[in-house]
Structure 1
């Protein structure tokens, strides 16, 4: 027979777990309450869980673009700021007809060619009527991506504060100063 003290302890742990989960969900901006898959892995990417209460840099990416080399700078930013709470997420898209033919090829470009360790989602639509709800919100706030590698800075409360177009490199002083201000 299980002791009443043990049952009480288990219920307390369950309650704390539910409270922590509810708190994380409460800290998450409503427009981030989506679950995607990680690029070419099938592993879930719960946007709310990984972004709640943290500043974000969200980037629409493509594997065969003149700006694809920005993966290197994004990875550098990730390494520099991850311990301070910045979350970087790349969103592969074929909005400008420069995406890899499939997610396996996109993953090779990201992970093998550029050593990306920041989060990458499955391929999604980022422009137009079929844009993923995440990008519909971003597009309403700062305008749709004008090309691949537009970078959207989001504060820890989920407010989209600025967009940095493809011409602004990830390691530019302009973007790094804005990130420093959010941290």
Structure 2
């Protein structure tokens, strides 16, 4: 399905920013909702996370990436998921675990499905557009300032790797906050 591409082409022709595209809403771990349109004009790294995974230590790298580039406009969105049976039982436990162990202050969603028929619409659209589906925890999807899918990475690519930081820096150099 190329619906996202068609929307992007339409948006490019009209000059309308992210707000004119499909706005993904996620339940926030703090209550309320996180609206991706709030980050219009900014790159967003979306990462499915889990608190009891061999890659859980990547939370430190995600927070470091966020700390390094947030003032320049990068958003890192952590999406706790139990799709691989490695997440704590409640959003409250996840929030406490992340704050105590990693000092996390990046945006986080409530526990959310990232694959299968119950996957969040964001992940359904990423799959339709690119074929990418998280194969494990700590898979990463980089969204550009215009809402386009720039790149995806698997679990083994660390948040502060040259591959990710170079892609982020390139987007930040071209980003114009909406």
How many angstroms does 1:121 deviate by?
A: 0.7
Q: Which residue of 2 aligns with 1:148?
A: 137
CA distance in structure 2 between the aligned counterparts of 1:151 and 1:28, rounded to whole angstroms? 23
CA contact (8 A) 1:29 1:52 kept: no
Residue 76 of structure 1 and its aligned partner are, at CA, apart by 0.3
Identify the residue that residue 11 of structure 2 maps to in structure 1: none
Specify which of 90, 95, 107 is matched with residue 107 of structure 1.
95
**What SS does the corresponding residue of 1:119 show, helix, strand or coil?**
coil
Aligned equivalent of 1:38, options 17, 24, 28? 28
Q: CA deviation digits over 1:110-148, x for unaligned, max 9?
A: 122110111001111100111110111122233100100
Match of 2:62 among 45, 51, 74: 74
- What TM-score, normalized to structure 1? 0.80
Answering whether residue 176 of structure 2 is matched by residue 178 of structure 1, we say no
1:58–1:152 contact (8 Å) kept in structure 2: yes
* Secondary structure of the structure 2 residue equivalent to 1:28: helix
Q: Please provide the CA RMSD for this pair.
A: 1.5
TM-score by length of 2: 0.82
- Any gaps of 5 or more consecutive residues in structure 2? 1-15, 173-178
Any unmatched runs of 5+ in structure 1? 1-24
SS in 2 for 1:182: helix
The Cα of 1:156 is off from its aligned counterpart by: 0.4
- Show structure 1 runs of 4+ deviating over 4 A: none
Does structure 1 conserve the Cα–Cα contact (< 8 Å) formed by 2:25 and 2:36? yes
8 Å CA contact retained: 1:28, 1:157: no
8 Å Cα contact 1:60/1:149 also seen in 2: yes
3-state secondary structure, aligned to 2:125: helix
Q: Which has the higher contact order (CA 8 A, sep 6+)?
A: 2
